Amino acid sequence: MKLSISRRAMVASGAALALGPGFLRSARAENGVSDTTIRIGQSAVLSGPAKDFGIDYRAGIKLYFDRVNKSGGVNGRKIELVTYDDAYDPAKTAANTAKLIDEDKVFALTGYVATGNLAAAMPLAEKAGVPMFAPLVGTSSFRTKVNRYLFHVRAGYDLELRKIISHLSTIGISSIAVVYQDSPFGKSNLATCQELAADYKVQVVKTLPLAITAEDAKQVATSLAEAKPGAVVMIMAGRMVEVFMRDYRANGVGSPLYTLSVGITDAAGSAKRLDGKLAGLVTASIVPPPTAQRVPIVADYQRDRAEFGEKIDSYTALEGYIVARVMTEGLRRAGKTLTRDSFIAGLESIGSTRFGDFPIEYSAKNHNGSTFVDLEMYTRDGQLRR
């Protein structure tokens, strides 16, 4: 007996319903996935005073994806990275994210940069059921509860600040001042810093905001000279760190300086522009030094840089490389029939493991990734020493 088109459709629909919703999902291709490609989306700062973050992060992510694609892809699919510049503007991040989801039909998102930008993107990602993997963000508010669609790789800023404050307490420094970026990133992590200082009985004698686009920090430097803290903790990112350090050093203030891992990205450039005044700055680091080829993940990164001709070489680029490697493992574990659900399950199945000796831990109850934090000190020429 022949069926009409409408009759055949009804029969097929009934059969699918009888087999359950899982059949419907598997029968329908996931957005961003074809027989040959997996499309991943990114919105990041590629212009303006914080551009080094986005440029270097993307370079590291793409470097590992290039390695994967040259080796045949993931379960036979090549990875395509679609990136838009948001210029550090959360409104642009939201617009880019909507475009990536609605027009580019990406499978997942990765490589976002900055607290406010992630806050602008997450509601869109959650509503569409699109995983957000490894934003360059360590703010605690994104980590205290498990979000099904959000996975981190880098350690949180709370762990960085704890490392700094505990170190200061250990070496006998009992008072600090905090200079913080006048943004959601700066304000939220200022609160974390104050809580940790109280835990370690370190007094916060001064808190001073600085605008992202600041070209002058003389007034802040003068206030610090008057407060005479035992150390200054900077919760800032990008070129504003240089602006502050230039005026702080020129004012002759002698308190040691500490910064989060996002404080300096272009170390060689910063050292040159500061004319040696970068020396002595202590930074938290959330990946090994990109020169430490004794660490297997770093050796792999440097090998691939040489093979693919990648000129960018920085802590942020190495972080991006690690991020792409972990993401690829989640895609591999998701299997040939790739869905967002299977990708999330694949990441959660990683458990506690090491990627080239870099530790990562995921489960259904933990999407925070790494807890690795170390302290290093800059030399005059922008090198780091432990």
Q: pLDDT 10s digit of each residue in the chain, 386 long?
A: 333 334 433 333 343 333 444 444 444 569 999 999 999 999 999 998 789 999 999 999 999 999 999 999 999 999 999 999 999 999 999 999 999 999 999 999 999 999 999 999 999 999 999 999 999 999 999 999 999 999 999 999 999 999 999 999 999 999 999 999 999 999 999 999 999 999 999 999 999 999 988 999 999 999 999 999 999 999 998 889 999 999 999 987 789 999 999 998 788 888 999 998 999 999 999 999 999 999 999 999 999 999 999 999 999 999 999 999 999 999 999 999 999 999 999 999 999 999 999 999 999 999 999 999 999 999 998 888 87
Strands (E), 59-210: 78-85, 108-110, 132-133, 150-151, 175-181, 203-210
What does the pLDDT read at residue 18?
A: 39
**Cα dist from 255 to 233, 249, 333, whole Å:** 10, 10, 49
d(CA 355, CA 346): 15
**Cα dist from 192 to 170, 196, 224, whole Å:** 19, 6, 21
CB 143 within 8 A of CB 355: no
What does the pLDDT read at residue 21?
A: 44
Single-letter residue type at 377:
M
Q: What is the DSSP letter of 210?
A: E
d(CA 115, CA 130): 19
- Report the half-sphere exposure of 85 (CA within 13 A, side-chain side): 8
Q: CA geometry: angle at 282 spanning 197 and 199, to 5°? A: 10
What are phi and psi for residue 35, nearest 5 degrees? -65, -20
| Burial class of residue 120 (count of CB atoms within 10 Å of its CB; 0-12, 13-18, 19+) | buried
Single-letter residue type at 110:
T
For 180-197, b where at least 16 C-beta lie within 10 A, e where not — what string? Answer: bbbbbbbebbbebbbebb
- Tell me the whole-structure pTM to 2 decimals: 0.88
Q: CA geometry: angle at 265 spanning 157 and 378, to 5°? A: 90
Instruction: State the alpha helices, DSSP H only, in 309-364.
Output: 315-334, 340-348
Strand partners, 78: 37
What does the pLDDT read at residue 357?
A: 96
